[in-house]
Amino acid sequence: MSEFPHAPLIQLPTPLHKLSRLSQKLGVDLWIKRDDLTGFGEGGNKGRKLEYLLGDALENGYEVVVSCGSSQSNFVRQLGVACKVLGLKCAAATMQLPYDTPAGKPNFEALNLKGGNIALDKLSDLDLRVYPDDDWMVLYDYQEKLAQEYEEKGFKVYRIAVGGSSALGALAFYKAADELKKQAGEPFDWLVTGTSSGSTQIGLTYGFHGSETKVLGISADPEPELAEEFAENGEKFAELIGISPLTARDFNMNFDYVGPGYATWSDDGLAAIREMWQTEGILLDPIYSGKAFAGLLDLIKTGKLSGRIVFWHTGGAPSFYALPESVDLLIKR
Ligand SMILES: *Cc1c(COP(=O)(O)O)cnc(C)c1O
């Protein structure tokens, strides 16, 4: 593989360790890959992608980076601080709940519009634009208008797709698969990760394809068409590095743990956050890793997952701090 421009930001390899107490409790050999501990911008899976995306932006002389996401986006938070330290201007279009209407909206308050990731976005001086809730397509239009606004001012603008899910984003996780193989010694039967914009799962699925490790993505979005989207984005990645493409069937996805919808919490997810915190002292997030871990626990209990399992902790803890203060009352015991 030829080398791609790369802006060093994070500390690799992230730790891999066993969850001994949970393994004993659940009767499996359970491990955790700590991408919550990248050592940059409060951690999270987006740091890996940003090293390649912003490496590319810098190499090609871009001045402003424009992206989008939900208001508690972990990607926007990591992007904002990465741009700041690398000397790039950053702007992001956001909505609280950027849903597709057919997927519906939860009928209770979402994560609040203050605190959590938003406090950190402001600390990075990023140009944060908040638009009224609508669907993803409308949000992408706002992103494009924002990019054009900067171009009209004469800047060279680098556009980044939601969640950093481009071919370069997938490349970062294709390399992360190798990192895990080197650390693991013995291969895992299952790798379980939260999934949404896709490049985490795409890169890992390509990286483990043809091995004995099955990659399972537990979705944070109630959109079954994601597997098709992942396959399409995967093709662009395969083309980038010159390997043969996988199809939608190669992406192992589960949509059973989304709860009321994207960008908010679920009862099972909060219970899973509590379980991980009380058993292992590790904090998960309400939107992605908590729901993914709720899925992992349930799939183990129902006998669908067993053996040697690694949970990829994708980070996201800052959004936990944007939950209402009564979070303890929300957790159903
Ligand atoms: C973005 C994110 C994910 C999903 O990763 P994708 O590559 O967008 O699918 C999972 N967990 C957390 C905490 C995230 O911020």
Q: Best of 32, 200, 321 to mutate for ligand 1, by most ligand atoms within 8 A of CB? A: 200
Phi, psi of 218 (to 5 degrees): -105, 120
Bridge partners of 114, per DSSP, are none
Q: What is the mean pLDDT of the chain?
A: 94
Active-site residue flag, 326:
no
Against a cut of 0.75, is the pTM above it?
yes
Quick one: CA dihedral 34, 35, 37, 39, positive or negative?
positive
Distance from the alpha carbon of residue 164 to the mean position of ligand 1, in angstroms: 10
| CA 38 – CA 312 distance, rounded (Å) | 13
Residue 104: pLDDT above 70?
no
Do 44 and 322 contact (CB within 8 A), yes or no? no
Do 291 and 194 contact (CB within 8 A), yes or no? yes
Residue 155: pLDDT above 90?
yes
Instruction: Please indicate whether residue 160 or residue 261 has the higher confidence score (pLDDT).
Output: 160
Q: In the predicted model, what is the mean pLDDT of residues 31-46?
A: 98
Do 23 and 307 contact (CB within 8 A), yes or no? no
Residue 308: pLDDT above 70?
yes
pLDDT on residue 102: 56
Phi, psi of 94 (to 5 degrees): -135, 155
- Which letter, b or e, does each residue of 280-306 get, where b requires 16 or more Cβ atoms within 10 Å of its Cβ? eebbbbbbbbbbbbbbbbbbbeeeebe
Catalytic residue among 70, 73, 196, 199: 73
Pocket of ligand 1 (CB under 6 A): 44-45, 74-75, 163, 165, 194-201, 285, 288-289, 314-316
Distance from the alpha carbon of residue 216 to the mean position of ligand 1, in angstroms: 14
Our CA angle for 253, 259, 265, nearest 5°, is 115
Band (pLDDT 50/70/90 cuts) for residue 100 is: low
Report the nearest-CA residue for atom 8 of ligand 1.
197
